[in-house]
Amino acid sequence: MIFSPPLPLPTTALPNTPELVHTSSTQTSSSVSASTSEAKQSTTLLSLPPEILVQILLHLASESSSLLATELTCNYLHRLIQGSLLLQYEVALAATQQVDNPLNLMTVREKMAWLEESESRWRVLNIDHDLGNDDAAREEGVGRPRKETNRIRKIKVAHVPSGIYDLTGGVYLLGDQPRKALYWVKLPGREEILNDAEMKWNKIDVEEHGPERNFVDIGLCIYEHDLIAIVTISPRPTPDGSPPTDNDIDLLLLQFSTGLPHPHLSELFDSGQHQTPRQNYVRHIFRSPTDWQKPVIWTEIVGDHIVLIISYRSAAAPRPDDRVYVWDWRSGVEKMSFTAPYRTYSGLLFLTPSHFLLPNTQTNTLDIFRIPDPPALTSVVDRKSPEPVLSLSLPLLAAGRNLGSVSCRAEPNPVGYLSNFTSQSGISKERAATDPTRPFLPSARNALCIFSLLVVGGANVPDVGGGAGNPLFSQSFMFVVHRNALVDLLKLGVDKWSEGQVLEVQNTSPNVKEDGMPEGIEVGPPLPWFSQDPDQRHRAPARLSYASWGPPVTRWFNTDGTTTRWITTTSGQRLVLAPHRTQAFSSPYAVFDFCPHSVRKLDLTIKHEARRREEELQTMLRAREKMIATSPAGGGEKPDGEPPAHEDPYDHSASPSNAATSMPTASSSNTANTSSEFEAPVPASELTNPVQAPPITTRPSPPLLLRRLRLMASSGILESFGFFSEPIHGSLPYVACASEERYRFGGVLIDEERVVGIGVSVFYSSDFFAHPVGQGGPIDKY
């Protein structure tokens, strides 16, 4: 929320209501000396100063219907709301699911202009303003050629990259192949593009913190804490100098912008030993045998907590268990740690600063855990896994099918109470090079969560015990859901579970089983040991079937034909997808927008276009009838005596609310009611013409952008190719837009301001291209 004062209203605009009449200087002293209680009783909402009223009304900005109802109350509130740019800005932020960036010092008017321009560009993927929306200029080559733009930036990669990468808040990170250094670059913003600034790579040298260290994974928390967590592996020296038999898994906690030990680390370890800050930034996790080889690790940081999942996928039998750790990263205090069977967990995301979600490939569920407030009573790692507070089942798999892996991500992450920029004293004066400069940022609460599933099948599918062999076949699927939808399910499930009530989702009324529980809700083991309420420790948390929670809030895609190597394909409300790149052909990419405001806006646009086309058709038919009536044939008859045929040149098979264009991804085949396209109107010269009337050439074509847009507001059924045993419905509406140009990208990434296309060579990732779609500011300055 912005706390800058709104523009004051002119005093002449204030109505002369009784509550607002000021006491004149000629009033008697008896009127002035009224009792305090009477003065308090006479104070009303409208008697408050406009500045205070605006601050009160800001709490209604996220609920547009409530603010609209308030606006219709009286003329004074109508003028106040319409005249407050601050209120209008907050309403626009809420509609587009974004929040203000307090680090940006633009005025409210400048931020509003930036927001409008940014949303306009995202709506049609307008990278370069010179291309505009003028069809004639495009066809005639007026202005800049189609293949050129002064806003796309190519960033060269000088090192041989590894598979470690990340994209968050305009920062792109790429590790090197020896796994000794991490390189990152701040992607060009508006000012850098205006000044044609050169992009500079920065280096975090892991080798400086130990010559034998190799990084395995990284976790970024740049906006909140300017923090990077680097998980390293290094051989453990032996006393006699013999070849090492164990590896040390350590955690380095560094300030991202400087590469130095993070300044907010406590000097006290959980063991109570006093160490210097230089020693404290290296946290030893555990020791593993060398024959387990290199682990696979997932790392996330939110608020005070850092969560690590460690899995040894290449270890020989007997397979080691997966390990889950939760620490307070500042103090090193362990909040939670447990093990799970081999290949149980393969992803991680935070729902709130105190709740995180782990996809479980063994039970085919999304397990939600709560981080306990007090530290764990024991630091023993090898113990039975605590039960989740809620488990959301994924669709049932067909016989002989298993979940090979589940990758997940949501960008941005939630922010804890104490971040690097906010405190009780206000905003920190320290500014880092990695601070976000955009006037507004995507809302973490409403951010899109992406889950990428690999379902495998065949006789040689590995089992929990570590059976040998590879799957004979596999299929990739993906679904998205808003973070707030999962949080609402969590609140509903835990509240009703703690009260002993039946959990119902989206007004569904499941059938009751013999044990009194509704179908779709299963009774699990006792509540975990870290429950806040001792009386609830023996109650069973709910486990929801997919049919009871998923269809209203998810949308599924078959992604076998798209690039799924990179998981950083969502930001805020948007998802970017592109087909697999081939050597011979290029293809467009598509951006999917799941913001309800974007869906409603395009729906209205399509309905308006349908009405315009219908009106044009009726005008054309009336003109034709008039020409036929006045032709030599006369009488409304054809020369051969047959009555004239009025043919409708339009395709009305799709309702306006579902009209769409085909998208260049596999998602088009995943909808039950795939809509037809907005086709260009049939030229008058091609219509049935009983007489030689002059053709009507004044009918404009429908807007070109509608040919690249797709609106999907109906429920869809996933084409699962027999990998699931139940039909998979998803109703989350979206708007999709295909890029105007075609590209040869090996993958596409997205953040709040741009699409990043990755060029892939035969051996490794090469240069990449930043498409600044969502940058705002005055167009004429580019």
Q: Which two tokens stand for residue 449?
A: 């969560």
Most confident range (mean pLDDT) of 59-63, 299-303, 311-315, 757-761 is 299-303
In this prediction, residue 591 has a pLDDT band, given cuts at 50, 70 and 90, of very high
Q: Is the pLDDT of residue 54 over 60?
A: yes
Answer whether the bond into residue 683 is a cis peptide, omega within 30°: no
Q: How confident is the model at residue 703 (pLDDT cuts 50, 70, 90)?
A: low
Predicted pLDDT of residue 69: 87
Residue 6 banded pLDDT, cuts 50, 70, 90:
very low
Q: Which residues pair with 562 in a beta bridge?
A: 579
* pLDDT of res. 100: 94
Evaluate if residue 518 carries a pLDDT over 90. Answer: no
Whose CA is closest to 485, among 522, 519, 448, 443? 448
Confidence at 428, pLDDT banded by 50, 70, 90: very low
Q: Which tens digit of pLDDT belongs to each residue from 233-270? A: 999 998 888 899 999 999 999 999 999 999 988 754 44
Alpha carbon 491 to its chain's center: 21
In this structure, of 601-610, 647-656, 728-737, the range with the lowest mean pLDDT score is 647-656
pLDDT band for 509, please (50, 70, 90 cuts). very low
3-state class of 4 per DSSP?
coil
pLDDT score of 17 more than 90:
no
Give the residue, 329 or 71, on which the prediction is more confident.
329
pTM exceeds 0.85? no
Over range 22-27, report the average pLDDT: 42
pLDDT value at 539 more than 60: no
* pLDDT bracket for residue 421 (50, 70, 90): low
Q: Residue 665, class by beta-carbon neighbours within 10 Å (0-12 exposed, 13-18 middle, 19+ buried)?
A: buried
The pLDDT assigned to 648 comes to: 38
- Given this model, what pLDDT does residue 140 score? 35
State the amino acid at position 676 in one-letter form.
S
Window from 206-210, 538-542, 654-658, 778-782 with minimum mean pLDDT? 654-658
Percentage with pLDDT > 70 across the chain:
67
> Which segment, 56-65, 677-686, 712-721, is predicted with the most confidence on average?
712-721
| φ and ψ at residue 413, rounded to 5 degrees | -85, 160
Q: Which two tokens stand for residue 1?
A: 């929320």
Backbone angles phi, psi at 139, to 5 degrees: -65, -35
Cβ-Cβ contacts under 8 Å for 729 (sequence gap 6 or more): 550, 551, 715, 716, 717, 718
The pLDDT score that the predictor gives to residue 633 is 57
DSSP class per residue in 412-442: SPP--SS-SSEETTEE-S---TTS--SSEEE
> Which residue would you say has higher pLDDT here, 494 or 41?
494
* Predicted local confidence at residue 437, as pLDDT: 86
Higher pLDDT, 270 or 680: 270
Q: What is the pLDDT of residue 266?
A: 72
Q: Residue 468 has which token pair?
A: 């040998």
How confident is residue 566, by pLDDT bands cut at 50, 70 and 90? Answer: confident
What integer best gives the mean pLDDT of the chain?
A: 75
Which contacts (CB < 8 Å, 24+ apart) does range 631-640 have?
631/691, 631/693, 632/691, 633/690, 633/691, 638/690, 639/690
pLDDT at position 305: 95
Task: Compute the 3-state secondary structure of the chain and give helix, strand, coil in percent, each to the nearest 5.
Answer: 25, 25, 50
Range of 295-304, 536-545, 762-771 with top mean pLDDT: 295-304
More confident residue, 118 or 316: 118
Q: Is the pLDDT of residue 422 over 60?
A: no
Q: Report the pLDDT value the prediction gives residue 103, as an integer from 0 to 100.
A: 86
Instruction: Write the pLDDT tens digit of every residue in 105-114.
Output: 899 999 999 9
Using an 8 Å Cβ cutoff, are 379 and 429 in contact?
no
In one-letter notation, the amino acid at residue 150 is N
- Say if residue 36's pLDDT is above 70: no
Q: Is 769 helix (H, G, I), strand (E, B) or coil?
A: strand
In this predicted structure, what is the pLDDT of residue 47? Answer: 87
Residue 335: the pLDDT is 92
pLDDT digits (tens, 9 = 90+) for 64-106: 778 888 888 899 999 999 999 999 999 999 999 999 998 888 9
Q: 3-class SS at 625?
A: helix
**pLDDT class of 760 with cuts at 50, 70, 90:** low
pLDDT-based confidence at residue 717 (cuts at 50, 70, 90)? very high
Backbone angles phi, psi at 528, to 5 degrees: -60, 160
Q: Considering only 199-208, 527-536, 605-614, 639-648, which range has the smallest mean pLDDT?
A: 527-536
More confident residue, 109 or 35: 109
What residues pair up with 712 in beta bridges, in sequence order?
Answer: 734
The type of residue at 177 is Q
- 163-185: per-residue pLDDT in tens? 899 999 899 999 998 999 999 99
pLDDT confidence of residue 528? 34
CA–CA gap between residue 17 and residue 31 (Å, rounded): 19
Which of residues 359 and 199 earns the better pLDDT score?
359
Q: Which residue type does 403 have?
A: L
pLDDT exceeds 60 at position 461: no
**Is the distance from CB of 515 to CB of 386 less than 8 angstroms?**
no
268-296 pLDDT per residue, tens = 444 444 454 445 899 999 999 999 989 99
Nearest by Cα to 504 from 445, 552, 444 = 552
pLDDT at 484: 96
pLDDT confidence of residue 79: 92
Greater model confidence, 574 or 632: 574
> For the segment 630-640, what is each residue's pLDDT rounded down to a tens digit?
876 555 444 44
- What confidence score (pLDDT) does residue 315 get? 85
Which is nearest to 452 in space by CA: 548, 314, 569?
569
Question: Do 592 and 601 touch, CB atoms closer than 8 A?
Answer: no
Which range has the top average pLDDT, 55-59, 127-131, 231-235? 231-235
Query: What integer is the mean pLDDT of 757-773?
Result: 72
Tell me what pLDDT residue 597 has: 94
What is the Cα–Cα distance from 552 to 530, expressed in whole angstroms?
32
Confidence (pLDDT) at 556: 97
Separation between Cα atoms, residue 113 and residue 84, nearest integer Å? 15
Q: Is the pLDDT of residue 583 over 60?
A: no
Residue pair 249/231 in contact (Cβ under 8 Å)? The answer is: yes
Check pLDDT > 50 for residue 359: yes
45-49, 503-507, 541-545: which is most confident = 45-49
